[in-house]
Structure 1
Amino acid sequence: MPKIMLADNLDALRGMPDGHADLIYIDPPFNTGRTQRRTRIRTRRTSHGEGGDRTGFQGARYETTAVGTRRFDDRFDDYLAFLGPRLVEAYRVLAPHGSFYLHVDYREVHHCRLFLDDLFGPDHLLNEIIWAYDYGARPKTRWPAKHDNILFYVKDLSNYTFNVDEIERIPYMAPGLVGPEKAARGKLPTDTWWHTIVPTSGAERTGYPTQKPLGILRRIITASSNPGDLVLDFFAGSGTTGMAAHELGRDFILVDNNPEALEVMAKRFESVSGVRWEGLDLPDGTEAGAWRTR
């Protein structure tokens, strides 16, 4: 049964049995040293094309109003002192045939890789995936940083899931060089993934800071789990991992200790039946939507 928990993830992990999860994906805070914020706005077209604070199509004027800001602190004096105990517990909770994905950025990836090499064994790192995107500021004093790192480890090199035939194919960059049959089929993605961020005005957008695209999680879950498997994300944020798992017929456990994250997930999963909610102090049988209004 899918489950969403409001809890400290270290406590939650310690309450899980050995080998419980078939796939673990986490996207912990990146230790940027900043408070991450995402402000949602509402726009209203002004009358007679006057006033407002922004211009739209064909010169129409619009007035914007902030309707809410979500935030969390992303700063740690010793990142691995915070993350390390959680990685150790995750290794214990991961099934013997399981796969583990750690999504992080250039500030901490080297420290995390050395830690995970000790935990899993350096040969058990199958890939360092680069998720490349193109958005945001472009500093003039260095090359703009436009990628994240995703470390992919397995517990057992001779027994793990990788559904190569189920992974969506991508277009060849030079289809004329491979012939029409191969061009029509497309190619397997490499360890460099070009994928847009969540569109600002797209239906997928929840307003939660650092929300990751469903397409990234669909690819990971499709490749490294099977229908009916249990997917665990203990830095759940906006719940993208759980939504992708649900779409693909997997079970899931999501954990986060930020009430704002639970508010986002409650809205996102209100049409998903059978979700258990823990740590919310709600009466038995209460639907997820009650979390938003309590």
Structure 2
Amino acid sequence: MRSIDDSGPDLVVLGDNLDVLPTLPDGSFTVVYLDPPFNTGRKQRRHAVTAERRTAGDAGTITGFRGRTYERIRGDLMRFDDRFEDYWAFLEPRLLEAWRLLTDDGTLYLHLDYREAHYAKVLLDALFGRDAFLNEIIWAYDFGAKSRSRWPTKHDTILVYVKDPERYWFDSEAVDREPYMAPGLVTPEKRERGKLPTDVWWHTIVSPTGSEKTGYPTQKPEGVLRRMVQASSREGDWVLDFFAGSGTLGAVARDLGRRFVLVDDNPVAVDVMRRRLPHARVESAVDSAVEQER
């Protein structure tokens, strides 16, 4: 079991997150951010997952959080998903681990595109309860392909769930404010201070020529993750990203005085994080497992 405490270093782990996550202790992270891929390269049977409320002990039920039980129903829910075979068999166990690792006042941010976000909402409600749902954030940006056969897709969806609806941490005063879209309609004092972002975040992608660019293809801008970390954690808290990619959550956490654990199974991603976060300790999950067996 890896130790997550103030005396330990920030950590980058190379390995399959489903192998790494069980080595982390319960309730360790105030923020868990997931930006999962849409193609793991694994061949799996196509089937769908949804849920219906059942009585505990019924045949074919699984027990969810908060004592709820659900029967897993295979169907045609994913008929239109032509990019991933059985995405939910891949994602569901990782969501369960993420929930286990959240502190009681912690927040889960799940970052998806429009193809999966609505199905993910159903799955998360079934697993964790609709009362744990806090927000649907729309990240809108202004670059990319220009379709002429439909409305061009220019947003991602971030689903926000809290471990305990009565205890979650949210500090709106800590969040960087943004300019008013109609500054002439507010007082000079409000115009100078700016406004709190809503659930629609207008933020550009990572500039291809900017200093933030690492060259990693799926890199997310620091400004988007910065808002999450500012609002949902305090200085010294631990945050987790186990589809870490270029390590943006770690870069934001470092700058805001938070601690981090980043996991990715791509050696190229870990090399990028090693350069971007030179102070962090880098481990291989395979090497750690061998060492523990000794």
TM-score greater than 0.5 by the shorter chain: yes
SS in 1 for 2:158: strand
Instruction: Establish whether residue 220 from structure 1 lines up as the match of residue 225 from structure 2.
Output: no
From 158, 165, 175, the equivalent of 2:183 is 175
Q: Residue 76 of structure 1: CA displacement?
A: 2.8
From 204, 209, 213, the equivalent of 1:205 is 213
Which residue is 2:123 aligned to? 115
Deviations 1:210-260 (A, max 9, x none): 100011111110010000000000000000001100110000000000111
Task: Name segments (4+ residues, structure 1) moved above 3 Å.
Answer: 30-33
Residue 250 to residue 95, structure 1, CA distance change in 2 (3 Å)? same
- Structure (1/2) with the larger strand percentage: 1
From 261, 273, 282, the equivalent of 1:277 is 282
Question: 1:129-278 counterparts in 2 under 5 A?
Answer: 129-270=137-278, 272=279, 275-278=280-283
* TM-score in terms of structure 1 length: 0.78
The residue type equivalent to 1:277 in the other structure is V
SS in 2 for 1:231: strand
* TM-score in terms of structure 2 length: 0.78
CA distance in 2, matches of 1:166, 1:259: 35
Q: Residue 110 of structure 1: CA displacement?
A: 1.0
Q: Residue 16 of structure 1: CA displacement?
A: 1.4
Identity %: 60
- Provide structure 1 residue ranges, at least 5 long, that are not aligned to the other structure: 34-73, 283-294
Deviations 1:187-230 (A, max 9, x none): 11100000000000111111111100011111110010000000
Select the structure of larger CA radius of gyration: 1
- Provide structure 2 residue ranges, at least 5 long, that are not aligned to the other structure: 1-8, 42-81, 288-294
The residue type equivalent to 2:94 in the other structure is R
CA distance in 2, matches of 1:264, 1:196: 22
From 4, 9, 20, the equivalent of 1:12 is 20
Q: Contact (CA 8 Å) 1:32, 1:75: kept in 2 or not?
A: no
Q: Residue 31 of structure 1: CA displacement?
A: 4.9
SS in 1 for 2:147: coil
Residue 92 to residue 279, structure 1, CA distance change in 2 (3 Å)? same
Instruction: Establish whether residue 91 from structure 1 lines up as the match of residue 96 from structure 2.
Output: no
CA distance in 1, matches of 2:187, 2:125: 41
Q: Residue 93 of structure 1: CA displacement?
A: 1.1
Which residue is 2:67 aligned to? none
Residue 178 to residue 24, structure 1, CA distance change in 2 (3 Å)? same
The residue type equivalent to 2:281 in the other structure is R
Deviations 1:9-51 (A, max 9, x none): 0111111121111110111114599xxxxxxxxxxxxxxxxxx
